[in-house]
Each structure stands twice: as structure tokens, then as C-alpha cells.
């Protein structure tokens, strides 16, 4: 796969768009793909990061023109154009699809257009629209797309960040295994605080945060990342610091290591907060620009950060100092913040995005309709039919359990399943004739995993896709009523459903084709038993 990234970053612009694009470049080049970046990569921080990706990444320099036709010509010969930019003009998807702009001839395939959005910021019509804002899976797609990928599972992070993620023996995210874990220092010892207000600190917030830390009166070792505008006032504060130490530093490429050793990180609600989530670190957060507000609010809802204010809430210095005092003197609160943060971002975002692009380039298709298949809720009268289908050798071969199920066990399972609120068992029919089953199991609020069985006498007749689609339609109408915890207002007519999930064994080529041909894209790599997971929004 040949991947062209379009993004800009540097002093005065911000670094977030380039940082997350480089995370994709890192993942893609590690898989042997050819990657180029078209755009401004300026300043020592970003140039060092770009160099760390290795020789598989080509830096093409600033884009000569961002007019749609010119970008389409620049993308000619690439399989994918991935755009992470707020300010490009409209019309890029149409330009890419114009045969006259393809130098290899009108019959050559158009590049796939993938675009990164932060809510409505950067949204444009594309083949794939990706909004990595936490909880975006509950929102309507911000622009037309064949595939919409939403939520914190698509936060793309560098391996220098994800390698610092720790989990406990139960799989729960935890900072307890990392140096400087929340609450790991002895009582009464000096707390270490890192202040990083984004790649460029556009509002000059770092001095205000340092003043609030000073106002706590606590003995602190503070490291603050400065830029050209804030270095002088921060250095002056360092000279007068009375409680512990205040160290002023430039942005550094190994900032994740600094984050991992801090008892608390005070940061702007930009890309750095998702790095902190992946590492399960405690944080206090300030939204300094409008596009950070959705992520800021999501962090507060999840209990993953202490809120210090937003553009619509002018931070009160005394209130900020009070909030910082409370969290710095409460090790249990910091542990709770870290655990909640770790649940929001699992560090697989770059893997998901590159895997999804591979599948789309390889021929994955968007959603299909149910056709002539309809579904109804199963009843006890279906018990014997479902039992025979379950024990069919081909069905057992592709199941997690390969052993035949005794009838008595099946009857008990069916009775329990029909009584559960977190499971829906459906029977698919064509013209009144049963053709298979669809089972939905709730994995998390609004996320449902599907299991499909096609009746032995209906295999090879093309009913699996219709069976799946009919099951999705049924669930989209039932989930709102059956799952009162699910928020409403999901994408399209799927209110109450955030995501459809599917676990497929790597050896089951037919099921893999089914889901990739029905709008599903990779969500998790194969587990120890060989089951990989796919997702659809």
C-alpha cells in the first residue's frame, strides 16, 4: 500500500495533526508500506519525531497548492490520501474521483480518501471519515462517508507512548507498573508535576498554571514545557520558586517518558491528553481553544481528569489552585483518575486505522441491505431447530467451542438466553422459511457483538449478508428500548447502538469476507485463540 499523508505542523501552527499522522506513518512503515508526508513539518520537536519513523517515510515538503485538483494530481499513484487538516477547501473527494486527473489513465483506481476530523473541525466528504474524539461513536458522522470510524478507539498514538501502557493481571489499565505510578511515592515526599500546554501553547497558559501550582503552597518539583513566548516569564518564575523546584524545558521528543514519571500532568486538552489516557496517567486539564472542548468534556464525564476550565469558563486562579491542591494531596484520587483515563484509550488506534485502510484498499465494501431476509425474536418453539443448527459440524468448526451440545444443555441455555436483557436471539427467514440465526450480546453500553449461524440447507445461497443486515436493523430499533443506559442520537437510525462488533477466527475466510463486505473494519488483532474482532458504526 502506498500512503500519502497531508498535514501541517510547527511553531505557530500546532503539532497535533503531524504527531498523529506520524503515528500512522510509524505503523504503516513497520508493515512494509510506502509512506510519504506532504506538508510543513517544522521545528526541532516535529523534525526529530519525523526522523524517528525511519527511512520508510518520505518528507515531500510543503504542499505547493491545496486546491482539490492539485492535491488529486499529487495523490496520483498512491492507494490512499489521508488528510489531517482543518483548512483545505471542499471538493477533494470529487477531484480524486475524476478520471481525467489520473495520470495512469481513466480506468486506473482512484486513491481512497481518508480524513481525520475533530467533531466538525476538519470534516469533509471522504471514503473514510475518522473522528477520534471520545464518545464520537454516538454522534452523527460530521461529513458524508462510506465508512465512519468514531470514538477513542481511533486515537492514533506513537509506539513511544503505547509501550508505556500498563495493565494489571485482570487486564485493567493501571499506572501502577510504571515509574512514578500514582500514589507510589512515600507519604510526605515531594510530588512531581509536569506542565505541558500543547505543542505551541497558543494562549500562553503555562505561566498561569505555574502560578496556580505556586499558590497551592505545596512542596513540588515542577517541570514545565516552554515555547518562545512563555520561556521568559516561566524562567522568571523559576528564579523566584520557593517550594521545591521549577524547571523550564523545551519540547522534547521523549515527552512520554516525562509523563510516565510524573505524579500529575497538567495539560491542554489536545493530543497530549489521549497519550496520557493510553498510559493511564492522572491529569488536570485546561481546554485552551474551542476544538478541545468536546474532548475536555468527555474526560470530565468519564472521571478521567480534573477540569481547570475552558474557553467558555474563564479559569479562576483561586479555584484552579484549589483543584490542584485537592488532587495533589489525594493519592487515591490520582489512582482513580489514572484508571478511568486508561479505559478511554487502549493504544490500538494506529493499528486500527492502518488495518482499516489495508482492507478498504483490498476491496472491503460498505453496508449492504437485508434484501429478502427478515428476522424475528426466537421463541422456545425454535429450540430443536436451533439445536440442530448449533451442532452442525461446519458450525462447530468455526465456533469457540467445537464440542457437540447435549439437548438438555441447549434447552437450559435457550431458556436463560431468552430471559436476558443483554442478549437478543433472532431467527432469520426468507418467505417464511428459517434460514439462520443472529445473536447479539452486549459487550459494553451500546456495543453489541454478533454471532451468525446460516442453516445448513441455506448455505451457498447468499443469505448471510442479508441475515446480518436484517439483524442490525432489528437491533437498531430495539436497543433504545432495551438498553436504558444507552444515550440516544446515534449515527443515522441507530439510536441506542454505538457499534456492532464481530469476532471471527482467522481461519474462517467466509466469515471474514462477510463482515468486510458488510461495512465492518478491523477493531482488534487476533487473540491467543485466533479470534480477531471487527467493528461497524
Quote the pLDDT of residue 489. Answer: 44
Q: What is the CATH number of the domain that holds 394?
A: 3.40.630.30
Quote the pLDDT of residue 176. Answer: 42
Statement to judge: residues 467 and 376 lie in one domain: yes
In a domain, 50, yes or no: yes
Q: What is the CATH number of the domain that holds 206?
A: 3.40.50.2000
In a domain, 350, yes or no: no
Statement to judge: residues 175 and 304 lie in one domain: yes
Q: How many structural domains are present in the chain?
A: 3
In a domain, 331, yes or no: yes
C-alpha span between 235 and 241 (Å, rounded)? 10
Statement to judge: residues 395 and 382 lie in one domain: yes
Statement to judge: residues 372 and 274 lie in one domain: no
Statement to judge: residues 306 and 278 lie in one domain: yes
Query: What DSSP assignment string belongs to 341-395?
Result: HHHH--S-HHHHHHHHHHHHHTT-------TTEEEEE--GGGHHHHHHHHTSHHH
Q: What is the CATH number of the domain that holds 58?
A: 3.40.50
Quote the pLDDT of residue 317. Answer: 87
The pTM for the full model equals: 0.87
Q: Which three cell numbers stand for residue 218?
A: 505545596
Q: Which three cell numbers stand for residue 4?
A: 500519502
In a domain, 63, yes or no: yes
Q: Which three cell numbers stand for residue 517?
A: 463486505
Can you give the residue range of the structural domain that contains 150? 2-157
Statement to judge: residues 288 and 399 lie in one domain: no
Statement to judge: residues 71 and 113 lie in one domain: yes
**H/E stretch holding 167:** none
In a domain, 309, yes or no: yes
Regions of the chain short of the pLDDT cut 50 = 176-179, 484-494
Quote the pLDDT of residue 12. Answer: 80
Question: Of 157, 182, 208, at which residue does a domain stop?
Answer: 157
Statement to judge: residues 177 and 302 lie in one domain: yes
Statement to judge: residues 374 and 513 lie in one domain: yes
Statement to judge: residues 164 and 309 lie in one domain: yes
Quote the pLDDT of residue 278. Answer: 95
In a domain, 299, yes or no: yes
In a domain, 77, yes or no: yes
Residues 388-410: pLDDT tens digits? 999 988 888 777 777 888 999 99
- Contact status, residue 238 vs residue 232, Cβ threshold 8 Å: no
C-alpha span between 50 and 58 (Å, rounded)? 9
Q: What percent of the chain has pLDDT over 90?
A: 73
In a domain, 357, yes or no: no
The count of other CB atoms within 10 Å of the CB of residue 109 is 9
Statement to judge: residues 69 and 153 lie in one domain: yes
Rg (CA), the chain: 25
Question: Of 126, 157, 188, at which residue does a domain stop?
Answer: 157
Q: Where are the beta strands (DSSP E) in 23-83?
A: 34-38, 57-61, 80-83
- Contact status, residue 122 vs residue 86, Cβ threshold 8 Å: yes
Question: Of 127, 157, 187, at which residue does a domain stop?
Answer: 157
Statement to judge: residues 140 and 248 lie in one domain: no
Amino acid at each position: 500500500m502506498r500512503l500519502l499523508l497531508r498535514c501541517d505542523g510547527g511553531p505557530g501552527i500546532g503539532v497535533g495533526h503531524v504527531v498523529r499522522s506520524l503515528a500512522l506513518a510509524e505503523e504503516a512503515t513497520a508493515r512494509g508500506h510506502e509512506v510519504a508526508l506532504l506538508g510543513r513539518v517544522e521545528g526541532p520537536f516535529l523534525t526529530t519525531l519525523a526522523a524517528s519513523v525511519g527511512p520508510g517515510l518520505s518528507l515531500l515538503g510543503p504542499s505547493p497548492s491545496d486546491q482539490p485538483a492539485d492535491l488529486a494530481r499529487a495523490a496520483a499513484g498512491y492507494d490512499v490520501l489521508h488528510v489531517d487538516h482543518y483548512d483545505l477547501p471542499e471538493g477533494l473527494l470529487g477531484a480524486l474521483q475524476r478520471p481525467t486527473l489520473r495520470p495512469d489513465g481513466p480506468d486506473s483506481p482512484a486513491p481512497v480518501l481518508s480524513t481525520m476530523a475533530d467533531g466538525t473541525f476538519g470534516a469533509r466528504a471522504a471514503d473514510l471519515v475518522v473522528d477520534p474524539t471520545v464518545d464520537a461513536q454516538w454522534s452523527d458522522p460530521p461529513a458524508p462517508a462510506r465508512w465512519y470510524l468514531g470514538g477513542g478507539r481511533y486515537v492514533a498514538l506513537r509506539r513511544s507512548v503505547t509501550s508505556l501502557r500498563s495493565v494489571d493481571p485482570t487486564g485493567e489499565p493501571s499506572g501502577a507498573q510504571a515509574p512514578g505510578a500514582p500514589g507510589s511515592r512515600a507519604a510526605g515526599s515531594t510530588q512531581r508535576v509536569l506542565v505541558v500546554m500543547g505543542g505551541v501553547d497558543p494562549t500562553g497558559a503555562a505561566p498561569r498554571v505555574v502560578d496556580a501550582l505556586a499558590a497551592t503552597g505545596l512542596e513540588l518539583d515542577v517541570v514545565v514545557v516552554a515555547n518562545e513566548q512563555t520561556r521568559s516569564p516561566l524562567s522568571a518564575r523559576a528564579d523566584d520558586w520557593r517550594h521545591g523546584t521549577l524547571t523550564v524545558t523545551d519540547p522534547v521528543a521523549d515527552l512520554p517518558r516525562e509523563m510516565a514519571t510524573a505524579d500529575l500532568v497538567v495539560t491542554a486538552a489536545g493530543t497530549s491528553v489521549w497519550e496520557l489516557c493510553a498510559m493511564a496517567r492522572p491529569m488536570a486539564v485546561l481546554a485552551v481553544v474551542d476544538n478541545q472542548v468536546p474532548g475536555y468534556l468527555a474526560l470530565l464525564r468519564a472521571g478521567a481528569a480534573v477540569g481547570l476550565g475552558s474557553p467558555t469558563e474563564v479559569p479562576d486562579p483561586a479555584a484552579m489552585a484549589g483543584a490542584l491542591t485537592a488532587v495533589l494531596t489525594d493519592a487515591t484520587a490520582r489512582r482513580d483518575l489514572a484508571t478511568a483515563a486508561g479505559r478511554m484509550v487502549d493504544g490500538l488506534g494506529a493499528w486500527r486505522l492502518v488495518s482499516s485502510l489495508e482492507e478498504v484498499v483490498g476491496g472491503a465494501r460498505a453496508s449492504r441491505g437485508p434484501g429478502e431476509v427478515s428476522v424475528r425474536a426466537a421463541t422456545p418453539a425454535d429450540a430443536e431447530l436451533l439445536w440442530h443448527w448449533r451442532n452442525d459440524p461446519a458450525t462447530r468448526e468455526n465456533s469457540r467451542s467445537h464440542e457437540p451440545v447435549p439437548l438438555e444443555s441447549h434447552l437450559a441455555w435457550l431458556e436463560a438466553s431468552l430471559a436476558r436483557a443483554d442478549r437478543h436471539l433472532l431467527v432469520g427467514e426468507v418467505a417464511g422459511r428459517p434460514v439462520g440465526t443472529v445473536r447479539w450480546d452486549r459487550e459494553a453500553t451500546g456495543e453489541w457483538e454478533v454471532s451468525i449461524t446460516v442453516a445448513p440447507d441455506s448455505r451457498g445461497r447468499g443469505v448471510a449478508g442479508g441475515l446480518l443486515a436484517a439483524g442490525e436493523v432489528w437491533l437498531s430499533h430495539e436497543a433504545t428500548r432495551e438498553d436504558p443506559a444507552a444515550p440516544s442520537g446515534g449515527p443515522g437510525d441507530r439510536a441506542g447502538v454505538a457499534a456492532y462488533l464481530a469476532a471471527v477466527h482467522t481461519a474462517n475466510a467466509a466469515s471474514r469476507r462477510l463482515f468486510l463486505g458488510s461495512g465492518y473494519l478491523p477493531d482488534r488483532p487476533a487473540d491467543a485463540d485466533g479470534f480477531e474482532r471487527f467493528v461497524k458504526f
